[in-house]
Chains A and B, each alone.
Chain A
Amino acid sequence: MAPALLCAAFVALYPLARTFYLSFTNARFGDPNPAKVVGARNYADLVSDVFFRDAVVLTVLFTVVTVLAELVLGLLVALLVNTRFRGRGGVRAAMLIPWAIPTVISAQMWKWMFNDVYGVFNDILVNRLHLFPKAIAFTAEESTSFWAAAIVDIWKTTPFMALLLLAGLQLIPSDLYEAARVDGATRWQQFVKITLPLLRPAMLVALIFRTLDALRVFDVFYVMFGNRPDTMTMATYAQQTLVSISDIGYGSAISIAIFLVIGIFVTLYIVVFRPEEA
């Protein structure tokens, strides 16, 4: 049994340690000279790198917007699906579909819907609802690109969030609600006093899970915008530096920085929500 564990440890831990080491070198792929240790120079460069700063800001903003929206919408959907109605099984099955579609493909589908000339999104907004005087190139303009990507993520992940929360909702014993009704509690009171506190562990798990996922967002941005500088996330910037520019040293430093940012978020969650009490 030990070999399997060693193998698992090697597969996961070695690359991290190696990335950490590489981030202190000037390694470049295809460079005939052996890589030299250059100390913290990559990190010094990183601090003054405006592209990286913009990427961090964009990614954190993206994470806050999408995770909040997904939590609120996911909770609403979970509450709706948790009530009895005809076709509930069908709805639950349908909720798995956005999750199952590869992110790359959902980004592609939305990009077509967002198309400024032939896209259905613009047709609805401009020709049907008359909300805008003319079509908007959602994925091309700087001001709308962020929201276009956020919508794709929210669409794809809200149902998943709802499914996780639904599992939590179904663990709440129904006699609690009956007792509350007997005592004359309103629906809102039941929600605030019973549902929310008891759902806290499930919400926290879903929240952490999604936050970590959103912080490393890559697929949506890459597919919709390529390596456009104004829409770079931490992950697309790291990938571009490592693979397209072959700068292993600097790219590794970016990777480690991403790891640290994610670590900060996890610590924040643990400090603020104290999962052991939940």
Chain B
Amino acid sequence: MLFPFVWALLSSLKPSEELFATPVRYWPDNPTLEHYRLVVENGDFQQALLNSAIVAVSVTLMSLVLGSLAAHALGRIRFRGRSVVLYAVLAMTMFPQIAVLGALFEMVNYFRLYNQLPALVLTYMIFTLPFTVWVMTGFMRAVPMEIEEAAYVDGATPFQVFYKIMLPLALPGMVTTGLLAFIAAWNEFLFALSFTQTPDKRTVTYAITAFAGSTSGMYEVPWGQTMAASVLVTAPLVALALIFQRHILAGLTAGGVKG
């Protein structure tokens, strides 16, 4: 199950003459960090890492703020059409992004955001926000109603109730949804490919696929560097996944129950 990742790791440590040896050598005899050095010193790649970090963090924060406000409304406040809205949100979490690519492309151009990072932040919300709202609504509903009622009796305003009571209690849920939003934004490719163009605006997923053309001739793919870059980009995610294992599983199954 882990073999492709292990193989990428081994490949990234082999000097080119071992990497491109036939028959295939399984263990690096003279391990080297040369590929990593080249990748880390590559300005485009540094920029791509930074771009991905900016986009993913912004998307996560904005989804959490908007998502938890909306979730509080949906989980607590009674209003006409609440269940309709909730089902609409549910449907949106299943939404195929490709189906709105045309309109988003037009919108991005209209606001002159083509090849700008905000284009990605805005469009990524389309898949992170419904998900955040859905999962957070579940977490908000799990908070007993009595706590809130007690606060209202004591004269708290709805915003105070949200800020002082719901938010701290829903914090574990926010960690979970935030992680999932972050990973989704970090891994996104379709929008990054469609709405950015120049190397200085690419995210890591786009940068890695464009690696072959930019670092050498068209015909020789720099596999060593590609694997080193892959390991570098994946390592933080693997670490996050392992550290927050329980949170992620809880979030995924909450998201999964949405069926």
Contact = CB atoms under 8 A, between A and B. Distances in A.
Contacts of A98: 1-2, 4-5
B85 A223 contact: no
Nearest to B237: A100
Nearest to A256: B99
Interface in A83-132: 92-106, 108-110, 112-113, 115, 117-120, 123, 127
Contact of B97 (A112, A167, A216, A222): A216
Interface string A204-244: 11101100100110110011000000000011001100110
Contacts of B208: 104-105, 108
A68 to B, nearest CB: 18
Nearest to B195: A243
Nearest to A248: B102
A225 to B, nearest CB: 12
Closest 7 pairs between A and B when the two form their complex, measured CB to CB? A205-B259, A1-B73, A18-B103, A15-B100, A252-B102, A102-B187, A123-B24
Interface string B72-104: 111001000000010011001011111111111
B106 to A, nearest CB: 6
A167 B7 contact: no
Contact of B256 (A97, A117, A164, A222): A164
Interface string B228-254: 001001100110111001001100110
A189 to B, nearest CB: 28
Contacts, number: 237
A12 B67 CA distance: 13
On chain A, which size bracket covers the interface?
35 or more
Interface residues of B, number: 77
B257 interface: yes
The prevalent SS among residues of B at the interface is: helix
Interface of A: 1-2, 4-5, 7-9, 11-19, 22-23, 27, 29, 92-106, 108-110, 112-113, 115, 117-120, 123, 127, 155, 159-160, 163-164, 167, 201-202, 204-206, 208-209, 212, 215-216, 218-219, 222-223, 234-235, 238-239, 242-243, 248, 251-252, 255-256, 258-259, 262, 275
Contacts of B186: 102
Contact of B226 (A108, A218, A275): A108
A208 to B, nearest CB: 6
Contacts of A92: 245
Interface of B: 1-2, 4-5, 7-8, 11, 19-24, 26, 66, 69-70, 72-74, 77, 85, 88-89, 92, 94-107, 109, 125-126, 129-130, 133, 158, 183, 186-187, 189-190, 193-194, 204-205, 208-209, 223, 226-227, 230, 233-234, 237-238, 240-242, 245, 248-249, 252-253, 256-259
Nearest to A1: B73
A9 B100 CA distance: 14
A133 B35 CA distance: 33
Contacts of B21: 118
B20 A93 contact: no
A16 B100 contact: yes
Given A103-B187, A164-B252, A96 B69 contact: no
Given A109-B4, A112-B223, A216 B241 contact: no
A115 B7 CA distance: 13
A118 B190 contact: no
Given A18-B107, A96-B248, A212 B238 contact: no
B193 A239 contact: yes
